[in-house]
Amino acid sequence: MNIAYFLLPKNRVAYLYDDYTFRQGLEKMRYHGYTAIPVISRSGKYVGTISEGDFLWQILSNDAESRQIRSMKDLEQLHIRDLLRGNNYPPVRITVSMEELLSNAMNQNFIPVVDDLGNFTGIVTRKDIIRYFAEQKDESVSPLLQKIV
């Protein structure tokens, strides 16, 4: 099955640019109510995914070192690219199999999808993947039940 059917395209996905400030990123996540959000460059390349935890760890690491409370104004010096801590949401290409998507979905809320050049094209949500496999299960059980009845 082609995952393009499940793809939520870039124009319908909230994302952050890597040059956004700490405050801009946090405000956009709060507005949309997300716990994780894709990060792209201004040229459209997928850079990674940032989570609420990445923001929290940044605040805690700075406070622990300086032992002073920082204002949101101070945090505007930081950019989203400074907060990314490795890519725990690896992207996939549109040609990925549903089984690989399921494997990734076990650890991620969504799977970022990129084209052959690494440009962000959208996401596939865990909900859509689970729905697909649930429907497959229903279809495979129904003919068997019909034979029994």
- In CATH, what number is assigned to the domain containing residue 68? 3.10.580.10
What is the C-alpha to C-alpha distance for residues 65 and 87, in angstroms, rounded to an integer? 25
> Between 28 and 74, where is the model more confident?
28
Q: Are strands 16-17 and 36-40 parallel, antiparallel or unpaired?
A: parallel
Question: Total structural domains in the chain?
Answer: 1
User: Would you state the pLDDT for residue 7?
Assistant: 94
Q: What is the pTM of this model?
A: 0.82
Residues in the chain: 149
Q: What is the pLDDT of residues 1-50, one digit of tens each?
A: 678 889 999 999 999 999 999 999 999 999 999 999 999 999 999 999 99
95 alpha carbon, distance to own chain's centre: 18
Q: Are 121 and 13 in contact (CB under 8 A)?
A: no
User: Would you state the pLDDT for residue 36?
Assistant: 94
What is the C-alpha to C-alpha distance for residues 60 and 24, in angstroms, rounded to an integer? 19
Range of the domain at 89: 3-148
Point out which residues pair with 9 in neighbouring strands: 122
Q: What is the pLDDT of residues 89-133, one digit of tens each?
A: 999 999 998 888 888 888 899 999 999 999 999 999 999 988 888
Strand order in the sheet with 8-9: 8-9, 120-125, 110-114, 92-93
Q: Are 49 and 104 in contact (CB under 8 A)?
A: no
